[in-house]
Amino acid sequence: MKILYVHQYFNTPDMSGGTRSFEMARRFVLEGHEVHVITSWREATMGNDWFETEVEGFRVHWLPVLYSNKMSFYTRISAFFKFAFRSARKVASLHADIVFATSTPLTVVIPAVYACKLQKIPMVFEVRDLWPELPIAMGALKNPVARFLARKLEIFAYENASCIVALSPGMKDGVSRTGFPSSKIAVIPNSSDVKMFRIGKEFGELFRNERPWIGKHPLLIYTGTFGLINGVDYLIDLAMHLSNLKSDIKILAIGGGIKFDGVIEQARTAGVLNHNLFIEGYLQKKDIPAALAAATISSALFIDKPEMRPNSANKFFDSLAAGKPIMINYGGWMHELIESNGCGLSMWQKPIGQVAKELDECLHDPFWLEKASEAAAALADRFFDRDILATQLLNVLQSTVEGCPDKAEKIAPGNYSE
């Protein structure tokens, strides 16, 4: 097959952020398929014209569109539409067998549908977040007209998709509620790159040695965005309560975003910055395995809103891939996975004092750490290994090209309790 892979925020391992599309595309190439990725270059360094690179055997077509998660919501919306309209002609000019468009943003469906209509080929649409439910829940999309148009765009995406890939069972349910046939919805979450993250202890030791303040202390690590929905200031409260318990646990938060500077200032005011809470800027994706190798436990954080519970956070699956216990503070399917598999700590709706006490007890319990680590690795190996999920995704695309999009649910039903 020749696959057009439309992803506005595509990353390589040399960049910060998720690399799902990179990992999937390179695996498609290894199976003998031709892949063209259509994406944006987010830095103000490459002029205004398209340029191309070759990565792992596939072509990447880059359109310079300035973007940062520090931008205001409506500035980001402007970047979404700029990419959507300028990329439409590019996507349509690359003749292919199928278009695979992945959100967010939802606006990627505009060039994808345009290309499909002109070329008379199918489109598979990947739902990474339930838009516009999430920005509405966050209060970012307040204008009634904007909400109406966003919902229309959502329906437009589903109506023009031959089948849909949802990144969690909850996202599948959200799509099904619009009337889209469940038989045409595959569940393929963010994945665990076991080969990348299951590395030797020496890499973790080197990471610790570069940060002498860690020493031999238990380490809780967070890697990701400091955004409005992440609630990273949760770690400040946790650090304060751990300090009150006289716990020797250290916390390292790595990332960036609109709340990054604010979290640093809050931590400084609270007296925990560089005491038991340490904060660093983004690491490249290829450097994250060493960070997790150094960790005693990893974490994924979100503010407690129902719309966030179907999320498919990369950091959750990276922790499983590394064989590290994971701590989360939200409900939903990941809460259920932790509860049923014993692969970490779900602190959903627990008082922060209780969270600190449980964390301190578990991170000083060698038996618990061993069992939780084994459970995390087993969960990654059984259900979420990237190779397994890439094969599922390729099978969904192939069956769609062959005119059988209703095989999607059978290929990837999203059942993780067997």
Chain segment 160-201, per-residue pLDDT in tens: 999 999 999 999 999 999 999 999 999 999 999 999 999 999
Question: What is residue 382's DSSP assignment?
Answer: I
Instruction: Produce one character per residue of 331-364: b if its CB has 16 or more CB atoms within 10 Å, e if not.
Output: bbbbbebbeebbbbbbbbeeebeebbbebbebbe
Mean pLDDT calculated for residue range 106-117: 96
Report whether 227 contacts 234 (CB < 8 A).
no
- Cα separation of 215 and 252, whole Å? 13
Percent residues over pLDDT 70 in the chain: 100
What are φ and ψ of residue 192, in 5° steps?
A: -100, 115
Its pTM stands at 0.94
Query: Does pLDDT of 71 surpass 80?
Result: no
Closest C-alpha to 254, from 210, 288, 289? 288
Quickly state the pLDDT bin for 147 (edges 50, 70, 90): confident
Quickly state the pLDDT bin for 418 (edges 50, 70, 90): low
Residue range 274-294, pLDDT digits in tens: 999 999 999 999 999 999 999
Concatenating the DSSP letter of every residue in 74-98 gives HHHHHHHHHHHHHHHHHHHHS--SE
Domains and CATH numbers, the chain: 2-191+385-411 (3.40.50.2000), 194-383 (3.40.50.2000)
Closest C-alpha to 200, from 316, 323, 319? 323
- Cα separation of 409 and 396, whole Å? 9
Preceding omega of 132 cis (within 30 degrees of 0): yes
- Cα separation of 51 and 34, whole Å? 18
3-state helix, strand, coil in the chain (%, to 5): 45, 15, 35
